[in-house]
Chains A and B, each alone.
Chain A
Amino acid sequence: MRLVRPSSCAATVLRPSWFFLLPLFLLTSVLTAADSAAGPAAPAGRVVTSEVPSFELDIQPILTKAGCNTGPCHGKQRGQNGFQLSLLGFDSDFDYQQIIEGGRGRRVFPGSPDSSLLLQKAVAAVPHGGGKRFDIDSPFYQQLRQWIAAGAPRRRPNEPRLVGIRLAQGQFILAAGETARLRVEAEYDDGSRRDVTHLADYLSNDAVVVAVDEHGKLIAGPLPGETAVMARFRNQIDVAQVVIPFRTRQDPEVYNALPRNNFIDELVLAKMQRAGVSPSPPAPDHVFLRRVYQDLIGRNPSVEEARRFLSDPSQDKKQRLIDDLLERPEYAEYWANQWADLLRPNPYRVGIKAVLNYDQWIRQQFRDDVPYDEFVRRLITARGSTWRNGAVTLFRDRRSADEQATLVSQLFLGIRLECAKCHHHPFERWSQTDFYQFAAFFADVGYKGTGLSPPISGGEEIVVVRRGGKVQHPRTGETLVARPLFGPMTGDRSATASSEEGDLRERLWEWMTDAANPYFAQVHANRLWAALMQRGLVEPVDDLRATNPPSNPELLAALGDYLREHDFRQKELLRAIAASQVYSLSSAPTTDNIADRINYSRHYRHRLRGEVLLDAIADFTETPHRFSGMPEGSRATEIWTHRIGSQFLDTFGRPDANQDPPCERSGESTVRQTLHLMNSPEIDQRTRASGGRAARLAASPLSEEAIVEDLYLAAFSRFPTPEEQSNGVQWIRRAGDRRREAIEDLMWALLNAPEFFIQN
């Protein structure tokens, strides 16, 4: 039994969007600097056989396809049995020298090509640990033989260079079990193209959803889903996105009839239509109310606020609420708390005073509503004293150009460069040279004053910019000039930046925020989207790899553009997301979106962030926090260091900056959390506190009905149903003079119910 696909619709659907082409653009710009003398171009698609094969264009691809230079074989460090190749052939000079000069010259014999060890081993004519890689009568053998016979040249005259590869088709919609073929074309700097489908390698991001074989054949799995499939040829990659829709026959009218509030709804619905899922209905008002409070300002509405919103009959109340919330002081504290997760330095390294200054600096940016691009500028170009400018703590914590470069590229571009510190990453496009040229933007960062002296590090340090700093390639020792990861510098469009024009970090910032660089806006847009929608369009949110494509590329592009068009004012994008229809969908699934976890067809439930939950408990129980070193009544979102102890926050997960490497925040539920809510002394004391809500209500003249209503509004931001109301009233009445105890028990039950700590 197979899903039936509409007959005329072949396995194709859409051309690759610009996003998939981006890597090609990037590499083009890097590589065109090389010699561009146009040689005799091979016509597109024709395999050149009359010419002498080229080492880089023909021979190395064969070695890669045959698996010779992989990690477990000759590609590993030290090689295999004395024969070493660079991993996946990224270093042509090294490989050439190994083949020609290594093995005491026995690997190639131009005079008698068939006796070459390279060929003899490959066809297992002599014992070979790797077995037979191809046959004597195969095209691979013939090409290798031809090359050796021609004297095994390093290069042909005027040989073109590979500048990119492109999948003929970048998006596929397949039925379960259906197959399709990838076709890969290589593009050279002389304008020629060539079909390299038979030479490329393929990798599926999730082979149980869609598998791919060595010939580029896609095989859809048995269930709906989607994933990306990468094709790699030499150091070039392209990615196809493959969707197995939930339903293939879905009446377009279903989608056309759905309400749309803004561009976000258009793009989300378009993707839902492609994936064959339909949206859940809108959530009830009280669910929206609680959700938007938690997501925009990190707290629940008060009893009065909830009552007011729920009783407000006006049409525009949601929009007004969103606008109000964005102007609340809690907004700044909540978003600063989220940024602190990303930036928080280890206090044992940088000293507690620097940690405090850094935290205060971050908070001030959000209180002043500094646009995102300016926030980043102040941070990455920070200079001055750690006692005066909190932002320089970034440079106190990250002390070398390579550490600064990896942090900045990951946080603000979504590009993870760590791998490229040591080698050309096989799944990314960054080489070691790319990395250290990028790091060279931080070459001039210097320090004065007291450096780190763990565990105390209390002294003042001044971050300065001094010309003439150097970043060297770790292997070649060459001093590298600052050069962006792709494209030219902003302004004069030069390829590199020089410190003679001032702080190199300013130039880096200009390039990062240039309209031609989509990463800067998109990584932040993705982060904001994930904060409200519970899942990034790209996951992890700061990993915008070509091999990790967004689930909805058009939407990510549009969100990034929106942020840029609104001058990087984060509130504007948050406003647009919160005002969309999709934001307010119910979490309750329909039959055809129950298994959808990536198209936003329903709201995805999640446990509240530790700080938000702890504040919610303080508000509900009317017991202020008492954190060490902070004024009574401070909120958990205002905590400025993890050294302020809280067993609650430790249990509910907060990243510990003292760990090296720092732990990521975990949003998972655990049995420890359940036990903590049930039994911990802290929750017990808060529920029963003499100044708390239970005590106040018990002592008040309020009727039992009013008390139950208050508790439900405070706990769940909604009125109790008539049944809940009467159950609660009976419970309290039955307790007689133990009225306070009964209210305490009811409060314990409410805050231990999932409706309290799971966002619905």
Chain B
Amino acid sequence: MKNRQVDRVSRRDCLQLGLTGLLAGGLAGGLRARQTATANTTDRQADACILIWMDGGPSHYETFDPKPEAPLEIRGQFRSLPTKTPGVHFSQLMTSLSRISNKLAVVRSICHNQGNHGAGNHYMMTGAPPRIPVGCGAYVSFHPSLGSVAAKLLGAPHGIPPYFSLPRMSRSGGPNFLGAKYAPFVVSDDPNSKSFRVPDVTLPASIAEGRFSDRQQLRREVDRLQRLAHAAAGDPVAAVDEFYQQGLQLITSPEAQAAFDIHREPDSVRERYGRHPFGQRALLARRLVAAGVPFITLYEGGWDHHENLFDRFEEKVPRFESTVAALIEDLDAQGMLERTLVVALGEFGRTPKINARGGRDHWSNAMSVLFAGGGTPGGLVVGATDRQGYAPVERILAPENFVSTVYRKLGIDPGQILYTPEGRPTHLVSDATPIAELMA
């Protein structure tokens, strides 16, 4: 019986329906003519991107754009801190990052018009403003995210998912019309824990490999659910099929298993990243890059400081920023920084005037974004906000420019056109101009 099964192609029906009714219009030609989206390896500057997502929207004042000349109610209670780069100051708590400012570029002049979390997340994560108004709590997706596009166009070595998001997906970090295959692989487990391992990527101890392959055969045999072949049908079974293949590859990939095994790192390295979940996730991200993963989002929430901003920063930021610095330095020491882009940002900046509760509210008119590696020149500041930090006055840049920069560095043409499953053409980024200073 077994041999008979091996020879047999999958038994389930596949409903092959054309879109005859649908494509009576002018799109049939467009569909036929459509080109496969591509990445270009020749002017690619980075093989991978680690995106540190500071969910909630970090204050630009208390990170990379201090305004010591502004009145107290705007500049706040932190001092500005000279960095290794002459003339460039960060805010008081950014001590480790200021010491390696020669490896960093800070863009201070990105602004947009989406002042709530749902919309701001979407704009920065995808480069496209939400199509219709969305609320603060919204988790919306109208366009593929940076990570999903990178996953599709860059891929990863056999068996390893091309896009990770740790410990959770960011709100708009999904694939949208690219399909479930390019959704992030989420590792929610805490790599700082002694018992950390990525769950379910190894066979249960009781199941020998031979028995497992019998089971695969058997599953093929019993799986008769008809597939709806056309992507426009939105069949969830199509996603399941993708995931089943990905899952099989993952459990049979020694490279993936090794990348997940953070316990192989010496204690000294683990200490340097910080013995806390974010620190160890950053280390795991470095291991994933080394294994060939092109895009990793490190989601680190808790930046929505509507109240007690300064106390909360003192609790949160020293750990956070020393981990970011450790990551960049370690990548550099391993010779990986040159080909690994690290960016850190949130959805927007924060209001100039400190509110009555000692916090700052949402402010999309100005934000700072940190860049390092992947051919980014160090010791650089791009753009400037006005003397009180309200809005950019030099090199006014948009989320589109940010996203285009990341794409360009990864060798992805941000000006290319992608097609939805229905065949609708969609620009990857509406303004495909990267930030020239960062492209060196």
Interface residues in chain A, defined as those with a beta carbon under 8 Å from any beta carbon in chain B: 1-3, 71-72, 76-78, 176-177, 203, 205-208, 221-225, 246-247, 276, 416, 418-419, 425-428, 547-548, 587-592, 594-595, 597, 604-607, 647, 650, 661, 664, 668-676, 678-681, 684, 688, 721, 724, 727-728, 730-731, 734, 741, 745-746, 748-750, 752-755, 757-758, 760
Contacts and interface: CB of A to CB of B under 8 A. Distances in A.
B231 to A, nearest CB: 9
B1 A731 contact: yes
A594 B230 contact: yes
Nearest to B5: A727
B234 A597 contact: yes
Contact of A1 (B20, B26, B201, B244): B26
A355 B237 CA distance: 36
16 contacts: A78-B390, A176-B27, A419-B135, A427-B133, A591-B20, A595-B233, A605-B236, A650-B188, A679-B204, A688-B206, A721-B224, A741-B211, A753-B225, A755-B224, A758-B240, A760-B225
B332 to A, nearest CB: 32
Closest 3 CB pairs of A and B: A592-B21, A595-B232, A675-B200
Contacts of B223: 749, 753-755
B235 interface: yes
B131 A589 contact: no
A673 B243 contact: yes
A247 B218 contact: no
B207 interface: yes
Contacts of B222: 724, 728, 746, 749-750, 753
A223 B18 CA distance: 15
A88 B161 CA distance: 46
B207 A684 contact: yes
User: Mostly helix, strand, loop or mixed at chain B's interface?
Assistant: loop
Given A589-B17, A760-B225, 4 more contacts: A607-B240, A670-B183, A671-B243, A679-B201
A548 B226 CA distance: 34
B308 interface: no
Contact of B26 (A176, A588, A680, A748): A176
B299 interface: no
Interface in B340-383: 365
A425 B161 CA distance: 41
Contacts of A605: 235-237
Nearest to A759: B236
Nearest to B216: A749
Contacts of A225: 422
B132 interface: yes
A418 B136 contact: yes
A211 to B, nearest CB: 12
Nearest to A593: B21
A76 B391 CA distance: 11
A372 to B, nearest CB: 24
B286 to A, nearest CB: 22
A591 B17 contact: yes
Contacts, number: 209
Given A595-B22, A675-B201, A731-B218, A684 B230 contact: no
A206 B131 contact: yes
Nearest to A72: B113
Given A680-B200, A748-B215, A223 B422 contact: yes
Interface in B126-185: 131-133, 135-137, 139, 161, 180, 183, 185
A502 B186 CA distance: 52
Contacts of B234: 597, 604
A20 to B, nearest CB: 17
B228 A588 contact: yes
A201 to B, nearest CB: 13
B93 to A, nearest CB: 24
A741 B180 CA distance: 34
A678 B247 CA distance: 9
Contacts of B365: 76-77
A2 B188 CA distance: 50
Given A588-B15, A605-B235, A223 B27 contact: yes
A223 B224 contact: no
A605 B26 CA distance: 30
B166 to A, nearest CB: 12
B6 interface: no
Contact of B218 (A589, A592, A597, A745): A745
Given A419-B135, A605-B236, A731-B1, A749 B243 contact: no
A207 B214 CA distance: 50
A749 B25 contact: no
A721 B246 CA distance: 30
Interface residues of B, number: 72
B168 to A, nearest CB: 8
A681 B223 CA distance: 23
B424 A208 contact: yes
B221 interface: yes
A753 B223 CA distance: 5
Nearest to A733: B1
Contacts of A678: 200, 247, 251
A606 B233 CA distance: 12
A679 B202 contact: yes
B86 interface: no
A671 B116 CA distance: 30
Contacts of B226: 588
A3 B24 contact: yes
Contacts of A428: 133
A661 B240 CA distance: 29
A594 B225 contact: no
B250 interface: yes
B15 A589 contact: yes
B234 to A, nearest CB: 5
B43 to A, nearest CB: 30
Contacts of A206: 131-132
B70 interface: no
Contacts of B224: 721, 724, 755
B240 A754 contact: yes
Contacts of A76: 365
A205 B132 contact: yes
Interface in B219-274: 219, 221-226, 228, 230, 232-237, 239-241, 243-244, 246-247, 250-251
Given A589-B228, A594-B17, A749-B215, A676 B200 contact: yes
Nearest to A684: B204
A126 B435 CA distance: 31
Contact of B240 (A3, A247, A669, A746): A669
B19 interface: yes
A208 B137 contact: no
Contacts of A721: 224
B25 A176 contact: yes
Contact of A680 (B199, B225, B232, B237): B199
B84 to A, nearest CB: 34
Contacts of B37: none
Nearest to B202: A679
A59 to B, nearest CB: 24
Interface string B28-41: 11100000000000
A246 B30 CA distance: 18
A206 B142 CA distance: 10
B225 A246 contact: no
Given A223-B424, A679-B202, A591 B21 contact: yes
B423 interface: yes
B20 A674 contact: no
A673 B247 CA distance: 9
B25 A754 contact: no
A20 B131 CA distance: 21
Contacts of B77: none
Interface in B111-125: 113, 116
B250 A675 contact: yes
Contact of B424 (A78, A221, A426): A221
Given A419-B135, A745-B214, A755 B225 contact: yes
B235 to A, nearest CB: 6
Given A588-B226, A676-B199, A734-B1, A71 B113 contact: yes
